[in-house]
A and B are shown apart, each in its own frame.
Chain A
Amino acid sequence: MPLNYSDKDHVLAAFERRLTSRVPVRVWYRLGDFDESSGLSRKELRTSGEKFAQYLIWNHKELPSDILTIPVGDAVMIAEGAGSELKISMQEIIERARKGLPLLEDKSLFRSFNLSDLMAGKRLPYYCQASGIVAGEAAGTAIEASSYAPWTMAGIIRGNENMIYDTADDPEFVHGLLRFTTNLLKQAALEIGKTGADMFTFSDPAAGCSVISPPMFRNWAMPYLVEVVEFVKKNSKLKIGLHVCGKVDKIMEDLIATGVDAISIDSPSSLEKMVEINRGRVVIIGNVATELFLDGSTEQIEEAVRQCVDTAAPGGGYILSSGCDVPGTKQNILHFLQYGRDYGRYKKP
């Protein structure tokens, strides 16, 4: 056992249920929160994998979590995946993404759900380049690639409300769309797995009980999630994470049954219940309330850290984290990271 653990050691130890000297600590933050001081332009970030990697590393130095997250996937990658099967131009898709509209709201735009070779396009290679550079330069940090899960990605394409109606009105279309997103994510995770990343986390904000019902999760989101998780585990060394926003108490057992290695829960869900149900089967990540990063006091943040650590850290297999994406209050994020590392020291037996 090393005397001086790296941040990455703490994270990987959690996956092996080993205790290092402290609980690993991470914050989910969205790119764009802190970009102005980086000296890079948004255009550079979006077009150059190298610049994107530079930005991620710069951002990590500003807010040094134990996990550095590379967000993978966007409208362009989805459009490249659909390729010649679409009756709409790439520019139109980008424009719809900018306006926050469903990318392919009109079902007839899909000729078929065949997937193109993403590595023959530009976008997945861009993410792979960034991941490779980051994995090399931030070697002491756990590197996580993160993308939407099949159900949520399908909702981005079709629009969540439309897709919910489709499950009753046109189930075959939904299955076709989910087949497309599942195959796309398999390919993306497989390629990212070759770049030196440690983890791949599927984010499924539209699959929680705040958006769909438990039966709908089981019938629609879960089967495709299980398929992609099994595929990635079989074909890469990546640890697989799953994050679902909002309330998940009624599907916690289902989340574990997806076969992922780690589950990240949001603050509306019960960490205590997750620990109780889990019985050490998966790494638990979470679930400090995001609003505390926005306008919480130092004392409130410390109290939340203590509650989470006391509830989930004993015995290991836990990563202290914000429940979801956090607002950009740098001072609160830094205090959370520092206090989490201090309070999260494992007690010596």
Chain B
Amino acid sequence: MSLDQIKQSVILGKMEAVRDLVASALELGIGPGEILDQALIAGMVEIGQRFKEEEIYLPEVLFSARAMKAGIEILEPVLVETRENTAGTIVLGSVKGDIHDIGKNLVAIMFKSHGFEVVDLGVDIPPEKFVAAIKEHRPLLLGMSALLGTTVGQLEKTIEVIKEAGFREQVKIMVGGAIVTESYAARIGADGYAADAVSAVEKARDLLG
């Protein structure tokens, strides 16, 4: 049993194998942080890269994410005792009127894979709920998604409401979605834009320094 076996099982999306291998690794005395970073996260990082390069497709990412999650469930009880800080908290949501969630979920998976704590508000989120989440969770970054032409205007509206509530300076804001562009993101006052889930993590890291 090696960490590479776990990593390869994550890459292949083999949920049961990951579960069993992680349990075996713990029994062998391998540290939970090591298993998380060098096997589970490493597997997802590789999957993310392959996805970005269009070698694989969304279903493969989802199966790998599910396998990683199965491994984390085994690790969690011991990990809580040993792990210190996460990379920070990110709040995500699809804007009001938009019920699409695959892209947003993928972004959540990638952020979690890179050690961030993700508060996923879900879909059809009104501006006020984003404000409440900023107030409650104090995230480093807020990510909003709008897939439709009919809902893209909600990105701008939500940013305005966050400004009015006095929270704009406390949080970086990133936007994305099929028809959103870098220039549109800049025009509505977002801090960043990403075209895909892997780029979202890279952009977030840039923004957060």
Interface residue ranges, A against B (CB under 8 Å): 29-30, 32-33, 99-101, 160-161, 164-165, 167-168, 209-214, 216, 245-246, 290-291, 293-295, 324-328
A245 to B184 Cα, complex, angstroms: 21
Q: Are B102 and A161 in contact (CB under 8 A)?
A: yes
Interface residue ranges, B against A (CB under 8 Å): 56-60, 62-63, 66, 94, 98-102, 105, 123-124, 148-150, 152-153, 178-181, 183-184, 187
Q: Which residues of B contact A161 (CB under 8 A)?
A: 62, 101-102, 105
Q: Are A294 and B184 in contact (CB under 8 A)?
A: yes
A168 to B65 Cα, complex, angstroms: 15
Q: How far is the CB of B198 from chain A (nearest CB, A)?
A: 14
Q: Which residues of A contact B56 (CB under 8 A)?
A: 213
Q: Are B62 and A327 in contact (CB under 8 A)?
A: no
**B122: nearest residue on chain A (CB-CB)?**
A100
Q: Which residues of B contact A212 (CB under 8 A)?
A: 57-59
The answer to whether A100 and B57 touch (CB under 8 A), given A32-B150, A160-B102, A325-B149, is: no
30 CB contacts below 8 A, A to B, read A30-B148, A30-B150, A32-B150, A33-B149, A33-B150, A99-B123, A100-B94, A100-B101, A100-B123, A160-B102, A165-B62, A165-B63, A168-B63, A211-B58, A212-B57, A213-B57, A213-B58, A213-B60, A216-B59, A290-B178, A290-B179, A291-B180, A294-B179, A294-B184, A295-B183, A295-B184, A325-B148, A327-B152, A328-B149, A328-B150
Q: Which residues of A contact B187 (CB under 8 A)?
A: 295
Q: Which of A30, A214, A246 is the one whose CB lies under 8 Å from B178?
A: A246
Q: Which residues of A contact B150 (CB under 8 A)?
A: 30, 32-33, 325, 327-328
Q: How far is the CB of B16 from chain A (nearest CB, A)?
A: 11
A258 to B66 Cα, complex, angstroms: 32
A167 to B62 Cα, complex, angstroms: 12
Q: Which of A101, A167, A295, A328 is the one whose CB lies under 8 Å from B181?
A: A295
Q: Are A165 and B149 in contact (CB under 8 A)?
A: no
Q: Which residues of A contact B102 (CB under 8 A)?
A: 160-161, 211
**B153: nearest residue on chain A (CB-CB)?**
A327
Q: Which of B62, B149, B181 is the one whose CB lies under 8 Å from A293?
A: B149
A293 to B101 Cα, complex, angstroms: 23
Q: Are B178 and A294 in contact (CB under 8 A)?
A: no
**B59: nearest residue on chain A (CB-CB)?**
A164
Q: Which of A99, A101, A213, A327 is the one whose CB lies under 8 Å from B179?
A: A327
Q: Which residues of A contact B60 (CB under 8 A)?
A: 213
Q: Which residues of A contact B98 (CB under 8 A)?
A: 100
Q: How far is the CB of B121 from chain A (nearest CB, A)?
A: 12
Q: Which residues of B contact A290 (CB under 8 A)?
A: 149, 178-179
A99 to B100 Cα, complex, angstroms: 11
Q: Which residues of B contact A164 (CB under 8 A)?
A: 58-59, 62-63
